[in-house]
Amino acid sequence: MSNVQMKDIMEKFYLELVAGKDGLEREITTSDISRPGIEMAGYFTHYAPERIQLLGRTELSFVNELPSEVRMERFNQLCQKETPGIILTRENEAPKELILAAQASGVPIFRSALKTTKLSSQLTNYLEGMMAPSTTKHGVLVEIYGIGVLITGASGVGKSETALELVKRGHRLIADDAVNIRQEDYETLVGSAPDMIRHLLEIRGLGIINVMALFGAGAVRSHKKISLVIHLEAWEPQKLYDRLGIEDEKIKIIDTYVTKTTVPVRPGRNLAVITEVAAMNFRMKMMGVNAAEQFSTRLTSEIEKDK
């Protein structure tokens, strides 16, 4: 989870600092946003001070009709030590009582030209992305026919070579060696490359190559949703490998389960083609076409005829 401070919000959304410069380094602990309309009416029983507070035209027009001493009381309750910041939308002017309360508590006040609902939506999306649970996996992430495929396996098994062949076949590289993964919601994992190795691919015997420089901008992507995991492992003669593919294996990454396919590696097997077909087959399953189930149904039907 990334640490997000109010100065990051100010820079990201081009906010104007009205007051509270000393509070720019206040950390944001939740992606939830509040519009304290009922609080401006005096009801603070369920007030959530740890949220960014948005004051729009409705809230300010109401509070400006209150007596000055009442406004001072409400803003003092609004500005607490846990409050990361207060943003006024539509370039509304900050009441002098709000500035006094913010200066006393150290809460920064900002002004934005955006509408309240639009800013609230953009803030929520940004904070959920920045504060999402994250991890780093050893592997290669590629996009194959629109499917984000994470290729895993022991070092030297052929992950990067497989990715290079896939790029030559017209697919796109997202990350090699280290894949940063964040969980954007309950069922969505998004992978990207660390800044240090973005667009780079390591091939033993060749060294580091720049995929974008060699194959063009269309051969890379900055990030992609992970839908399928292909695990490469050395062939074990005694091990029984799935030959039908009726039941999907799952792997848990953070809190999300992703379909996993284990591919044994041995001389003569074209791993790039197998990975490409695995992604195509996964896509077909998502469209409701399952070749393994169709074969199983036909086989069962033939057995029933012979009885």
List, for residues 279-292, the tens digit of each pLDDT value.
Answer: 999 998 888 887 77
Q: Of 21, 118, 138, 204, which residue is the catalytic one? A: 138
Binding site feature residues for Mg(2+)? 160, 202
Q: How many CB atoms lie within 10 A of CB 99?
A: 15
Q: Is 177 a catalytic residue?
A: yes
Query: Tokens 């994992």 appear where?
Result: 189
- Residue ranges at the known binding site: 153-160, 202
- CB under 8 Å to 292, separation ≥6 — which residues? 244, 245, 246
Q: What is the pLDDT of residues 138-197, one digit of tens each?
A: 999 999 999 999 999 999 899 999 999 999 999 999 999 999 999 987 788 999 999 999
Q: What is the pLDDT of residue 113?
A: 94
Cα gap 183→161, rounded to integer Å? 28
Give me the catalytic one of 46, 239, 243, 266: 243
Indicate if 138 belongs to the active site: yes
pLDDT in tens, 95-142: 999 999 999 999 999 999 999 999 999 999 999 888 888 899 999 999
Provide the token pair at 139: 């592997």
Enumerate the known binding-site residues for ATP: 153-160
Active site residue 185: no
Q: Which of 177, 248, 260, 269 is catalytic?
A: 177
225 carries an active-site annotation: no
Exposed e or buried b per residue across 125-137, where buried means at least 16 C-beta atoms within 10 angstroms of its C-beta: ebbeebbbebeeb
- Looking up tokens 């913010």, which residue turns up? 102
Please state the pTM of the whole predicted model: 0.74
pLDDT of residue 1: 52
Residue-range domains of the chain with CATH: 4-130 (3.40.1390.20), 135-296 (3.40.50.300)
With 90 as the cut, is the pLDDT of residue 226 above it? yes
Per-residue pLDDT at 3? 83
Residue range 17-39, pLDDT digits in tens: 999 888 999 999 999 999 999 99
